[in-house]
Structure 1
Amino acid sequence: MNYTILVTGSAYGTQNASTAFLFCESLIKMYHTLNSIFFYFDGVLNANNFNQTPIDEFDLVRGWQKLHEKYKVKLYVCISAALRRGVVEDEELLKKNFKKGNLASFFQLSGLIELANSIKLSDRIIQF
């Protein structure tokens, strides 16, 4: 079965993103196809490279990155929601406060068209 995952919960502060991550790992272990993961609303905070996780906690941002590296799962981030929440990749948008953007590696800024295309290819869409 083909799945698209929609993550609307932030990386920390709610269980939405961590539950989504565990669900994605389970899908892959059960040999389902994970078309893409789309981060929307506060879910875009999962792509913030400036997140600092204590040593004794699971680093969710790095977890998403490893999921991409190991299984080539596409990690799409809604560009409008990201800009509203300060997640950017272009240094011009940061008004020269930083040398580079804070969009974590392997996350791609995209529009809702990527979500629509993923849904079209999927049997199921699950929102967290």
Structure 2
Amino acid sequence: MKFAIALFAAPHLPASRRALRFAQAALAGGHEIVRLFFYQDGVHSAASNVVSPQDELDLPKEWREFVSENKLDAVVCIAAALRRGVLNTEEAQRYARPAANLEAPWELSGLGQLHEAAQQADRLICFGGQ
């Protein structure tokens, strides 16, 4: 089965961990992940400067490693990211901000990428929305 996964929740919320575990289980079960799409507060899971407490799972790191190791298409909604200060180098320069905090394997893109993923997948699974 082909899955598209959308994450709406911040990395410190249970929905983010559930989304990661679901994605890991899907691949382990022989399924395909068409695209991971991070939206709303989910964009914080892609930020490279999130520091998790020592006694908690570092979900942004876990997501980054999972995406890289499995060569997944991982998209961060540009509008949600800009609103929350999650910027790649290009956007940091465009808006004259002092630093970027989004790097590979993440890509900034629009909601059209979520729509396209939903069309390509057998199931769109969403974690954390309101």
So what's the TM-score if we normalise by structure 1? 0.90
Stretch deviating more after TM superposition (60-69 or 117-126): 60-69
Identity across the alignment (%): 32
Partner of 2:75 in structure 1?
A: 76
Structure 2 stretches of 5 or more lacking a match?
none
Question: Helix, strand or coil for the counterpart of 1:50?
Answer: coil
Instruction: Name the CA distance, whole Å, in 1 between partners of 2:62 and 2:17.
Output: 9
Measured against aligned partners, the alpha-carbon deviations of 1:58-106 in whole angstroms (never above 9, x if no partner) come to: 21111111112221111100000000000011332463433xx011431
Greater than 4 Å deviation, 4+ residue runs: none
Which residue number corresponds to residue 2 of structure 1? 2
**Equivalent residue of 1:69, what SS?**
helix
**Which stretches in structure 1 are left out of the alignment for 5+ residues?**
none
CA distance in 2 between counterparts of 1:65 and 1:23 reads: 15
Q: Could you tell me whether the CA contact under 8 Å between 2:35 and 2:73 is conserved in 1?
A: yes
Specify the SS of the correspondent of 1:87.
Answer: coil
Written as runs of structure 1 = structure 2, the 5 A alignment for 1:49-64 is: 49-64=48-63
Counterpart in the other structure of 2:47: 48
TM-score w.r.t. structure 2 length? 0.89
C-alpha RMSD over aligned residues: 1.4
